[in-house]
Chains A and B, each alone.
Chain A
Amino acid sequence: MTVYIIRRVLQLIPVLLGVSILVFSLMHLTPGNPAQLMAGESAPPDTIEQIEESLGLNDPLPVQYWDYISGVVQGDLGTSMRYNTPVADEVWPKFVVTLELSIYSTILSIFMGLLAGIISAVRQYSISDITIMIVALFGLSMPNFWLGLMLIQWFAVNLGWFPPTGWEGPGSIVLPVISLGTAGAAIIARMTRSSMLDVISQDYIRTARAKGVKRRVIIYKHALKNALIPVVTVAGLQFGALLAGAVLTESVFAINGMGRLLVDSIIQRDFPVVQACILIIAVVFVLVNLVVDISYKFLNKRIDLND
């Protein structure tokens, strides 16, 4: 187990390195001179030179990358071109908002998804199963930004139950979390159902029945624990998808999070901020996957030799 964790952590190094190189390259892959982009079309040449000098754009690329990455490791994410302030100051408070949104949405996805998936599997082919699976298929096929707009229209505009926008107070988080979490809930529900059905047909479930165990206990004790193993991986991947999907949700609900900052910065071509946002989301995702992989291995070690 320890060996596995160490190996898995070591595997992260090339991935994180690659991610940082890719993020670093963003500015350099863009057609045109970054300093020119920053200063604007009509900037005088010496201003551009000045910017190039201050950003170290005249150094060889490896040197620039080294400067960039050593800054990042120390928490220096560069300077915003738009506001001329440290990117880190700009990004962190908004990152917290996005993280909250993603975590709440993931919790909703897992809770709803598991519940619906279990009901579906236990009552296979019943009306509730069919209804849940149809709803899940819709949930999977809906753009979360459209769902967000519809929720605003119904529950904020028409019914006035929740504020239409913002991220302040418990009422305001309901609609964004539903909007972002629905697709994840649908995916987890489908996964849970198929995983449960798979487990229910296993020999050890028959053994439990032969022992005289109650049906309810068989489902929640014997089957669910086994069925959860593959669901864990899906839930981890969902967290990443939600973190990225927050970009759209924040835009719909005018939430001042990192997603919105990212979109605004792309439009404004504020590259240091774009780089920081993308880097943070990718690194968080990679770390969450690490945790999920390790817990999967932990849950699954008991079956490994069996296969």
Chain B
Amino acid sequence: MSIEKKGDCMTCAEKVLIMTGNHAAAYAVKLCDVQVISAYPITPQSPVVEKLMEFVESGEMKAEYVAVESEHSAITVCISASVVGARVFTASCANGLALMHEMLHWAAGTRLPIVMAIPNRAVAAPWNILNDQQDSISQRDTGWMQIYCRNNQEILDTVIQAYRIAETVMAPVMVCYDGYVLSHTLMPVNMPDEKLVREYLPPYRPHTVLDPKSPRNINPVTLADPRMNAEGVLCHGYMELRSLLQKSLLGSVSVVAEAGREFGRIFGREYGIYDSYRTEDADLLMVSIGSLASEAMDTVDNMRAAGMKIGVMHLRLYRPFPAEVIAKAVRETGCRGVAVLEKNVSYGYEGAVCSDLKAALFDHGVDVFAHSYILGLGGRNVSVSDIEEALNRSYGYLEKKGPDRIKGQEWINCRV
């Protein structure tokens, strides 16, 4: 449900609507003139695609909607439609996203600018339909970019930016936001002007089109080594094609930054690679992805009031991992330690974001500790005191040196 209220945007005449995160994603898809949508229902994603179906049926949006029989087919439809030259969208999460796994590799390997919205949800077993980030984190090695959102405005804005980014990098993008916490929560959202969105996002131009006029065979068996084509040009082997994907992704941090800056110029809301709150002069930095980072701001205010110098950093871009940017940002705060609070775990080790961050800090010679805290799995409520508990524990390590500051991963508010 969207309730219209009077706009108060400073930089442009934007309407402000009250809507859920799911509907924010759907409105963004409509603004982006997406041509093919294919999805399969899963809680808490369904309202995204229900809303889109409403737009398509009412004629508000000119798009083909393919109501497939599985998530595997949904992403396949997006892949094929994208190869033909259409701008495409899908949404899924949890087990549905896991079912897509094989095709996520196909999408990235074919270098298709598909955008997928993911209202993050726990993955079975056992069944659980509530929020954590295990689903998207489990797909981090598929060649998709991943951007995390903290509120509904960010969801809408990020979906629009995602198409610009994807169509520049020629790689697919997941726009992730916490299930229920954002997907089903009403918030005011500024609605960008559609003409300005068209200015920001030019029409999709595919790099390789499937067309009867030029009979190409796309994604055939590709050998380990390069091979000559009929014209005598030495063409890539599998490894070269994969390396080109990796190079594009590694080089895309600046594309994400540019897309965020340009968005700010046109719509008045600028986005970066990460967001920080009270990180200047912080001794301890809390790092997180998604809504947890915005919830932690109150906690940090409380702790600052109690004399503890703590700041929050939200990693907006998780894949590609902006190692250099983040390491530099951490160094610049002058902090001595980092506590990574996350709603996922790389089973058998620690939180995935923590591992990546540690590697980035190590590579760039930033000598601070990084502790991994797992919380909020399967919708377990994350209270202010849970965040405080984690931050207090790491705060106690600030004076420690060498091996004494190492601390294994820890689960917060878990009763076993």
- The finding on whether chains A and B are genuine partners in a shared complex, rather than unrelated, reads no
CB within 8 Å of A: which residues of B? none
CB within 8 Å of B: which residues of A? none
